[in-house]
Each structure stands twice: as structure tokens, then as C-alpha cells.
Structure 1
Amino acid sequence: MKTVEFEITGKPAEILRAVERPLPEPGPGEVRVKVLASPINPSDIMFVQNLYGIRPQLPSGAGFEGVGIVDKAGEGVSVQPGTRVGFSGVGAWSEYTIAHHRSLIPVPDTMPDEVAAQLFVNPFTAFAMVQESGVQAGQWLMLTACGSAFGKMVIQLCKQKGIQTIGTVRRDDLNEELKALGLTEIINTETENMAARVREITGGAGVSCVLDAVGGHTASEAVKCLGKGGVMLIYGLLSLQDPTINVGLMIFRELTIRGFWLTDWMRRVDSKTRQEVAQNVISMLASGQIQLPVEATYSLDQIVEAVEHSERHGRWGKILVKP
């Protein structure tokens, strides 16, 4: 079978390659999945660079999620071969991969592969983070780098819940699309003072929560946008720079700043909560209430072009790998 691998960590476009490997065999509690499609997420790029919470065991496969057909089930697995599932695990950029049966989510026939491939990372993270934020209908939630696939998901989800949103961008080419999705206000961080604009938008109250994916200067400025008792959830570090935190603000506004990682959230919450999130995600995606656009599709042999495209500024949709 053909699969994407890397033998050293580094820039994805320089080290990823498609190679031939023997067909893997599922162990107890595992299934072998014939992969139909897999997205390229920021977490995948970070993993290949050894900058993620899970460290690669070299040589390593790549890609954390996808959609496929269960090809073979290991001992103790009740999922029948032939079932189309969303799955998560290391090595999704491949013709076949091994996944644990607990990571499988059967998907309805009406859901296209392009949507089902994105079922786990962004939708689950969006639902979980909006839940963790504690922001209620009518309150303000702010998200940095809001033009990302994750940002668009959060915007649409908040619109469904009646939560007002402020999103930051560095260019204005996606503003109309973001507004159409339901973003309440947009701040261009290259031309506007973030904290001043937030005070203006919120009548001086500040936002209840910030979801930050950037770190660095952007996160430092975003802390200033939090109102009394506000919370910042940091889930990414696109700038690869740590923020500088104003301790005085933390003390006198009683702010909370903490990280968020979906892997730990999935371990922490009970099975009922996980099932509720899964049902909500599937329902909203299958009904079309939330859109997950795809900009381009590449083969395994085109993995270098695919990862280069995924890191291109100004994208409006996800990049998929299709074996």
C-alpha cells in the first residue's frame, strides 16, 4: 500500500514522502480502515515538526483524522467491515490505516466524504471550546485568526447559540464571507488597535472569552480585551512565539488564562458528554447548518504540494488528501 511517511522531523514540504509499505494488520480493539479522504490540519503540520503534544515515533505516518471504510476488524471489535466511519489516529494520509475502535464515528450515507473527513478535529474542538468558554447567548466571544476552518466553525456555532462574536484578521479579503457566516464584528490587527476597538464594540465591558490560536503579540493584546472575570483559552501557537501577559490585568480583572487540547478534553469528560457532542456535530453537519468548505484535493504522491497549499495565506477552505 502507499502511505505518507517522514524519517526526521522538520518542515513538512521538505521531509514528507509517499512510500510503499506492507498492508497493516489490526490488533485487539483495532480496525483497518481503507481511507477515502483526510484533511490537512494545523495539528498535522505541528506534529511533523515535533511541535505537538504527541511526539512522532520515527519513522512515522502523518495525518490525524479522516473518513474511510472499515476493511478488517481486530479481536473484540463489533464494528462490521464495510461500515463508513470518521476516524482519528496517527497515519491518516495513507491508502490504509489502523484506528482504535473507540475513535470511530459511523457517518450517515447523506454526508459527503469531504465533510465526513473533517468530522473530528475542528468540529469537536469548536463544540468543546464554546462549551468550556461558558459564554451565554447575548454575550461576547472573541477569536483570533478567525478566517481559519476552525474559526469559521466557531462563528457558525456561536450564531446558532445566539453568542455575539468578534474575530481578528490580518487582511480583509474574507470579511464578506465571515460576516455571511455570522461573525458580528471584525478587527483588522494590521490597521486597528485591538483593545480600543473591543472597548468600542462592547461599550467598555470587554469580552467574556477569547479563543486564541496565534500566541505572541496577538495573544498579548487579546488579554487586554477580556472583561472582568474573563477567560482566555489558548489552543494554538501559529506565531511560534509566547505571549507576554500583563499580570496586573490578571489580578485586578480576575482573569483566567489556560490551554486547551482536544485530546485531554476527550479523556477528561464522561462518555455521555462525548456522545452528545458527536450527535450534535453529525446533526449540524448532515443538515447543512454548518459548512466545511474544501478548497483543493491532492493525491498521496502530491503530498508536498498539498502541505504547501495548506499553509498558503488567504485560503477559504480545507485542503484534503485523497488516496
Structure 2
Amino acid sequence: MSGSASELAHRLGEHAEAVCREYLSNGHRAGNHWIVGDVRNTPGRSMHVRLNAVGCKAAGKWVDESSGEYGDLLDVIEQSCGLVDFREVADEARRFLAIPRPQPRIDGAQRQPGAARGSPDAARRLFAMSQPIAGTLAERYIAGRGIMLTARERALRFHPGCYYRDLVTGETQTLPALIAAVTNLDGRITGLQRTYLSSGLDPNGKIGKAQLADPRRSLGHLLGNAIWLGHQPGAAVPVMAAGEGFETMASLRTVMPALPVAAATSANHLAGLTFPPGCRRLYIAADADAAGRHGIERLSQRAGEAGILCLALRPQLGDFNDDLRHLGPAPLAAWLRDQLVPEDARLFLPSG
């Protein structure tokens, strides 16, 4: 790194232990090193951060002996906070160092962000920085909602310390988050949805959403795209289901694991969903309330204009995740059977 980036890295290195205590709080000091699991602040002993310069070896440099990753303290801030562009990383470093934010330079020498905030590139970076959900809080959160998905579902990942900014106060914190990729029909990530999670158990002994005003946030290009489960990029999809929420659609896929489903993340995005090639029947998952009625009606109209038979699936309770959790998978499957075309019921629902 050069210019302002290298200067910030050097300044952070002068306070390496303080930086580690702030951003790698799950580690500890051992001699001239801070020991932690990895750059995302996972507990463990694989990553070593040099706390004081030794000869030509600068303070603040680190290496992860398990993964082979290495870097400086700017990388620590980026990864542990879940930041997705350099501007945010630099701002957080300056906040820690109490350095005023510099005025923009016109000579082009200042480092440019690697990905614009909220862009598809930013979404792809954050998804790449995350990890598979197996054995994580995200897996426990999903299982606690009765949702069972196979390891082949590639749309879901987990970030142990995802950056969260309160839009009212401006205060920031890092929280564990379920990361769901929003993709186009070719499988390219265009955005994502973050569900911020509590790090402790709720009164029912399960992992719930973080206690925030808005524990779910999206970024990137969402219109026309969706969180796809069970869809092979570019493949024809004769029959599918679509709805707003991830938990709703994942609940349907739990009882109909061969049915491709799409979660559009909002009513407006549901209305603009792009139909996959070869689609002949579209089931739309409706909630018991009328909040998403506009999206359903608009999507139904567009489907009819495209020659696609559109059918509504209605839950018994508030939504299909309520049905799955409170009634169970077998009663939910039985409830759905009468709402499906007989051919689809035979194909997608277990017999009996």
C-alpha cells in the first residue's frame, strides 16, 4: 500500500497492542506477539501480530500460519469490522487514532476505494470475506427456526464480526451475521442481505436476531434478482416458488427440497423478479397480512403477461416459517399439498 494507506498502517503499528485489544479482542499477548485465531477475530492461536518493530520487521505486521494469509493492521480493521471499501477502513483507522479526515486531493495520488459503498463489488467482497455456515451461529440460527438446508446451498455464509452502523446515532459496532447472496440468473452475485445475530441464546435457548431496530439490511443491485435456493445458474426452471423473505422461502424448501425457490427480500423487489428460462408455473408465497400484496399482484400480472401460470400459496399462521416452527414439517407439507397442482404435489412433496 502507498500514500495515505501506508501512513495509516505505520501509525497503527505504533499502537499495535492497543489496536489488537480493540479489534482482535478474542486474542492475548504472548511476548512480542498478539495471538488470535484469525484476522476476523476468531478465538484460537493461528494468527500472530508483531507488536514491536524488530530490526527491519515493522510492528503491526501479521501472518496466519493456518491459512497463509498476511497483512497489516489496516487489514485487521477491514476484516474484523466487516468493512467493504477502503474509505470505510481509513475512516475507522482515523477514528481509532483520533486523526481528522483529510480533505480530498485533486492530484489523484490518494488511494481510491476498492469498491463503492453499497455496490455489487462491495457485496461480492463481503461475501468472499465470510465463511461457510457449518458449525457457526448462522447455522444454529437457521436450525432454531426449523429450517433444514443441505450443504449444497451456496447462497449462505457467516461473518463473525460484520460492520453495523446505527443510521440515527452514527455509532458503529461489529456483530455476527448471516450473509445471504443475491444473484442474477447466471449465478453472479449482485447484492446480499445481512441478518445480524445475537451472540447469546434467547429465552427459548436459541440464537435469534440481534436486538436492533433494523437487524436485517441489504446492499447491491437487488431489483430483478433474488436469494436463490436450489437453482442451477443458467438452467431452465419449469416450476418455482417466489416470495419476499428468506426464512419464508427456506421453510418451503425445507418441506419441498427439490423445488427451486427465490427470496426477493422486499415486496417491491418481488414485483420486479426476473423469470428464469422455461418457467411454466410460479407459486407465490403470501403472508397472512397484506403488507406484500402489491408485490404479489404486480408479479402475478407480469407472470400472466409472460404466459406463466401463477398460483398463490397461503400459510395457516402468519407466514410459512411460523407454520414450520409451530405446526411442524409434516402438517405444513399436508397443508401445501392441496394448494399445488397435482403433478407438482407428486413431484415435490414426500408421499403419504
Return the TM-score normalized by structure 1.
0.29
User: Considering only CA atoms, is the larger Rg found in Structure 1 or Structure 2?
Assistant: 2
